[in-house]
Structure 1
Amino acid sequence: MNMKEIFIILLNLSLVFSDQAVTGSVSMKSLSCDNDYSSHMTCKWKEHKEAHDLLRITLYQNDGIQNENKMPCVRDPERALPETSDPYIFWVCRKNIEYFGIGINHIYSFKHNKTLETQLNVNLFQNVQPLPPQNLEVQNSSGDFFLTWTAAEGSQGLGNALEYEVTYKRDWESWEKDALRLLSNTTRCHLSHLMMGSRYVARVRARVQQAKGFSGPFSEWSTDVSWETPEGQEPIQPRNLRCLFNGVNLTCSWEVKKVITTSVIFGLFFRATPASAEEECSPVYEKTFPHIPYVVQSCAIPVSNISSQSRYHVSVRTKTEEKLIEAYKNIKVLPPTNVSVKATEDQEYELRWKKHTFQYNFIKQKYQVQYWKHNQYNETLQTLNISNDEPPFIFTLQMLSPSTKYRGKMRAMVNSADYQSSWSEWSEEFSWETANVMSPVLLPVMLPVLIITLLIIASFSYKYFLRQKKLWEEKIPNPSKSLLIQSYLEKVNLGNWVTNSQLDFKYNLAEKMDQPSFLQVVDR
């Protein structure tokens, strides 16, 4: 077979890998940082507990002005719960910052305490994965086993045929793709290319020797047998680096412990010749398997200059991850302090607070207040948005109930189109109590009722006075009814003087006697 036919075959080869691209570690994806745009920066991220036990990573910050600085990190006290099923550790990091401003970018990266790398020298023509041949046969020559086949265009006679086919693989690999196969005419075979720290399974099937004139299918596979290999190199190192050339790309794959990939990412670096500059292969794809502690990562290196002398040097090692976080787009101010509510002379209530100060006075803030009746948070919670930057804020009578104790809390954020901010934490709770005042709505209703009530009381009082006056007057003695006066008038000898004028005098006298007098008259 000449070189042209070899290249035709190579150009039709292909390797199938998962299409899931590696986009970053869990730690970097979880990293979030905010600042008060005044003096300090706060970052939070998470790390897998098992990865933390195997590999220690540290967060660094660089703002492009100073040198790269390590950020002090402690476990997040808000997430430091007793032992739970959560597999992650949550960290919070705080650092004082001297400079803030538009154009000052903070770059964050993780560094680890171990060197993770593996290397391999690759000869393209010693790592060819051809298409599956037709009429597969195995030939044995001087103890070395070789696989023979015929090309798809025709058929050829095969050499010495073997009676046994042995296949073995790790328990999570597929028989069709990843199994290692050995053909032998004996009952013993050497199992090669075993990975340390893995569990393997093997099976055997038999066939009559076709080379001796026999033909027939294989028997059924035997029952699987399994075993484990001891751990070899440090378990966090990448392993099983393999590269196969298909005529277009040199595709390399390797295995990494799954939990390690939550903290760091690996890249494939290569040199086409010893004198070439090192390049990075991209993108890296990853394939996971359930219940398996390793993942398979791979990357295809495009080969532009094909030569029988081509020797690639490939290396797998960890990459430095970076994330650009613009400080002015991630502002989180400190919550308001000294928040209090006091009554005013106008029977309203004044909310005052001390706001967080910035390096720049032109940056304004807005606020949000939540308040509720004491011990009635879920039933009476109300939220107010306050746009004015400076206190005070007035609670009107319509917003509150009289004779009621209230509790509240307050938070702030930047109020500017040029800056991006998130709400601060809530301030400490504050409380106040409203006075007992009459609602203005009740006054128009109660005034007519009060007037009518007063009129009714006045009417009854007047009638009672008249009655008491009459009773008092009836108790005053009447002189005209006195026995003494009547006896006196009867004894007077009027004689012939009784005339009409005298009668008139008697009548007038009696009439006068009927009027009240201060003389005390005693009847006998």
Structure 2
Amino acid sequence: MEVFQGRWTPQAINPHPNPPPPHWETKDEEVQDITSSLKCLTDYKYKIECQWVEDTAAKRYIPMDLYYQRSSTVSNCSQQLCNRMGTSTTTSSTESHCIIKNTFFAVGIEYTFTFKPKNPISLNKSFRLMENIKLQSPHGLTVNVTETGDYLLSWETIYTGNSSNIRLGTLQYEVNYKRTWESWENSVSETITGGSRQLEINSSALRSADTYVARVRMRPLQSTYRHLWSAWSSQVQWNVMTSEVDSQTAEAEVMPQNLQCTYNGIQQIECTWEVMRESSKYFSFKLHYKKASSSETQECQTSVIVRTYPHLTVHRCNIPVPDQEDFENYEVFLKLVNPSMKYKPYKNIKPIAPYNLTSKELPDGRFQLEWNTIEALYGLNYEINYKKADKSWEDTKVKMIPQDTRTFILPKDSLEPSSQYLVRVRAKVYCEPTEVECYRGPWSDWSLSVQLNTGPDKEIPIIVACILMVLFFILSPATIMLVKRKKRLWLESIPDPAKSRLFHKDTQTAPLRPLAAIEPVTLEEGNICKVVTAGSSAASPQVTPRVKAKLTPRRRRNRTTLLPQ
């Protein structure tokens, strides 16, 4: 296919007189990084345990293994395989884990984890410069009307006046022109072999009132080596209707295909290859190259996507060739990018779960918890988690424990009486919030739970007994008789006019007669009431103050009350 060799036809009109060759380029598609699922934790004493997830489709194409390399400021160890300890596969992914046994840990030690394909993958090809020459396309294609009414096409190349012409020799050009609505397969083709960069088209060969479009390409004329045509130049004035690209049938394999390289004759090798879209979702490939006479391999740094199709993408990378390079053979090959990441054990410490968790009920009804942990270089915080036995762990209470405290007393008010509880504990590496470089990591697993049985509440029977005693005292016969007696005494203490000695003699037993008017007199203490008859017009008895009574001396001397005869 022409497009995979860099031969393609632009569709847009280019209004600039000397534009560079057009390219449709994008960055490489984003690949699902398997290292994003890699998680490694260590107990910082015996082992490092790693887990990762592979896409099932990707694993079917290229299964990957995890390698690790331990390094420090003193020395570097060789890369080793982390042997899988088990896998768990679903329809969409496969979860794997492995364990690195190690008994030596320090802050200055770090691990580099790298995923590599289980089976080596390589696509290489030997490349000879002079057998794969593909020149850069001409530029500055213009059309001018001659004095005779014909049309003169002219163009420029980067090889004009260049010393590379000595190597390339005479250049050959091919010019195509057509009407805008025609396909290029039906275009007229003209070949210029004399080194001229012009072509005159006779107006008699063109239809009047139609619009034409033209393009040009070139290659070395010598036939000693295999020469490829350059890409087509920019078109003059009009859009192009390119033919449909016949893409190759997609193969089942995900390996890159159709690796091709061409030399532009000056200082650049252009390589293209195809990658299946299904493969590009999970894997990334990089182009590497080296001279045939050298063992040093280099990576091509300018990889881009030049075209995208529903089933594949076309990648391209340009390899620089030093000036005045002897025509030495090159080897190019594609390598699968091995995902890798840096891992620092001291920042991913998952402590071993506490063990020997015990409980002891104290005399005051509280519970004392104690547990053990493995001795380590770091401090630990603890978290107590407890719940009722019939509840789930989601409905739990949590208590934070100070650093390196391996005992805790559950308050009595946090537990309900006559209930059954389950308690567990876990640990976490302690790090001061202000410290940047310190031990870090997630919570450990929970310890085995221990059961607590709370007794009945002893205060409730005492309260009930007091209430019953009060009720018994209120409802007893002696209490009722005492209440009646108090009531009688209270009634007798209320004043009653019929009982007063002011209104009858000591020996009087008959009912009182209507009283005549009584003059008020003054006693030694208090006030004297003035009594009137029932038919009197007085509204109510009058009370004479003591001060007013002093104005009557006779009444002060006579301190008796006169009764009517």
TM, length-normalised to structure 2: 0.56
Maintained 8 Å contact 1:34/1:327: yes
Partner of 1:53: 60
Verify: 1:372 aligned to 2:387, yes or no: yes
Shift of 1:415: 1.3
Partner of 1:401: 416
Partner of 1:140: none
Shift of 1:332: 1.4
Verify: 1:350 aligned to 2:368, yes or no: yes
Shift of 1:45: 1.7
Distance 1:115 1:407 in 2: 55
Q: Would the alpha carbon gap of residues 315 and 463 (structure 1) be closer, same or farther in structure 2, given more than 3 Å must change?
A: same
Shift of 1:264: 4.8
Which of 82, 88, 96 in structure 2 is aligned with 1:71? Answer: 82
Partner of 1:39: 46
Verify: 1:18 aligned to 2:26, yes or no: yes
Q: Would the alpha carbon gap of residues 70 and 308 (structure 1) be closer, same or farther in structure 2, given more than 3 Å must change?
A: closer
Cα deviation, 1:25-68, whole Å, max 9, x if unaligned, reads 62233222111111111112222322322323211222246543
Q: Would the alpha carbon gap of residues 63 and 167 (structure 1) be closer, same or farther in structure 2, given more than 3 Å must change?
A: farther
AA in 2 matched with 1:335: A
Verify: 1:328 aligned to 2:343, yes or no: no
AA in 2 matched with 1:316: L
Greater helix proportion: 1
- Superposed, which structure 2 residues align to 1:290-439 within 5 Å? 291-292=310-311, 294-302=312-320, 305=323, 313-355=331-373, 357-358=374-375, 361-377=376-392, 380-417=395-432, 418-438=438-458
Verify: 1:214 aligned to 2:207, yes or no: yes
Q: Would the alpha carbon gap of residues 100 and 129 (structure 1) be closer, same or farther in structure 2, given more than 3 Å must change?
A: same
AA in 1 matched with 2:385: Q
Maintained 8 Å contact 1:26/1:46: no
Verify: 1:106 aligned to 2:111, yes or no: yes
Distance 1:426 1:31 in 2: 23
Shift of 1:229: 4.6
Distance 1:209 1:161 in 2: 14
Cα deviation, 1:426-450, whole Å, max 9, x if unaligned, reads 34444433222256xx89xx86x96
Q: Would the alpha carbon gap of residues 247 and 352 (structure 1) be closer, same or farther in structure 2, given more than 3 Å must change?
A: farther
Per mean C-alpha deviation after superposition, the further-off stretch among 60-69 and 124-133 is 124-133
Shift of 1:385: 1.8
Shift of 1:366: 1.4
Distance 2:471 2:252 in 1: 106
Shift of 1:421: 0.9
Greater Rg by CA:
2
Partner of 2:287: 268
TM, length-normalised to structure 1: 0.60
Partner of 2:155: 151
Q: Would the alpha carbon gap of residues 93 and 455 (structure 1) be closer, same or farther in structure 2, given more than 3 Å must change?
A: closer
Distance 1:167 1:345 in 2: 103
Shift of 1:347: 0.9
- Superposed, which structure 2 residues align to 1:444-463 within 5 Å? 454=469, 457-458=472-473, 461=476, 463=478
Q: Would the alpha carbon gap of residues 323 and 252 (structure 1) be closer, same or farther in structure 2, given more than 3 Å must change?
A: same
Shift of 1:217: 3.8
Matched residue of 2:114: which SS? strand
Q: Would the alpha carbon gap of residues 351 and 59 (structure 1) be closer, same or farther in structure 2, given more than 3 Å must change?
A: same
Partner of 2:490: none
Partner of 1:282: 301
Shift of 1:395: 0.7
Shift of 1:367: 2.0
Partner of 1:503: none
Maintained 8 Å contact 1:332/1:413: yes
Distance 1:159 1:14 in 2: 19
Maintained 8 Å contact 1:10/1:247: no
Shift of 1:237: 3.8
Coordinate RMSD, CA, aligned: 4.8
Maintained 8 Å contact 1:75/1:89: no
Q: Would the alpha carbon gap of residues 67 and 451 (structure 1) be closer, same or farther in structure 2, given more than 3 Å must change?
A: same
Maintained 8 Å contact 2:18/2:140: no
Matched residue of 2:273: which SS? strand
Distance 2:416 2:87 in 1: 41
Maintained 8 Å contact 2:110/2:343: yes
Distance 1:286 1:429 in 2: 58
Q: Would the alpha carbon gap of residues 103 and 54 (structure 1) be closer, same or farther in structure 2, given more than 3 Å must change?
A: same
- Superposed, which structure 2 residues align to 1:107-256 within 5 Å? 107-112=112-117, 113-119=119-125, 121=127, 123=129, 126-130=133-137, 134=141, 150-151=154-155, 212-214=205-207, 216-217=210-211, 229=248, 235-242=254-261, 252-256=271-275
Distance 1:398 1:248 in 2: 84
Please list every run of 5 or more consecutive structure 1 residues that lacks an aligned counterpart in the other structure.
1-8, 137-147, 169-180, 187-207, 468-524
Partner of 2:94: 89
Maintained 8 Å contact 2:20/2:139: no
